[in-house]
Amino acid sequence: MTRGWLRLAMVGGALVFSGMAGELLAANKTVNMKLMVVINAPPPCTVTGGTVEFGDVLTTKVDGVNFLQPVDYSLSCNGRLSDFLKLQIQGTAITINGESVLKTNVPNLGIRLQNMADKSVIPPGSVAWLPFQYTGGSGPAIQAVPVKTNGVTLTGGAFNAGATLVVDYQ
């Protein structure tokens, strides 16, 4: 007999609770909210040039200093929303002597890309961005230099690498 009364009390409690929930729902009010979203498109930049010719490179002289060349490119960003931009180099990276450098078609040979202003490495294919203020005609000055794995003897022959320069708003 006690068991039947307990069951009835539980059902009754559920009915009372659900009745109170209905009263709470009836008290809800509608609020009008205006949401504005601004989507900025990437800056309308055009990159031209960027080819680096190292010329004849002596494999025994590749040390990360010799054969340093500027990356000669121009940047045109007409119609941009801001002068505060950032640059990234996307390409296949390889680690040589602890540095992330651009991979070439020759084993143990890479191209270090660096900011000419402070010689800091610009790691390719990473999430690293180089912020700069666009003043017309160009972005930050970039240099490229061949590097090889310490203690390795390189074989002679042509080498190449490729990367994409990406520009976005800061």
| Average pLDDT score over the chain | 83
Span 7-33, mean pLDDT?
A: 53
Q: How far apart are CA 157 and CA 134, in angstroms?
A: 39
The number of CA neighbours under 13 Å toward the Cβ of 151 is 1
Q: How far apart are CA 115 and CA 100, in angstroms?
A: 14
On whether the pTM is more than 0.85, the answer is no
Span 129-150, mean pLDDT?
A: 93
Sole residue written with tokens 């230099």: 145
- Greatest Cα-to-Cα distance within the chain, rounded to the nearest angstrom: 102
Contact 75, 167 (CB under 8 A): yes
**Domain spanning 46-169, CATH architecture:** Sandwich (2.60)
pLDDT (tens digit, 9 = 90+) per residue, 63-100?
999 999 999 999 999 888 899 999 999 999 999 999 99
Residue 17 has pLDDT above 60, yes or no: no
Report pLDDT for 25.
55
Report pLDDT for 36.
74
pLDDT (tens digit, 9 = 90+) per residue, 110-130?
999 999 999 999 999 878 899
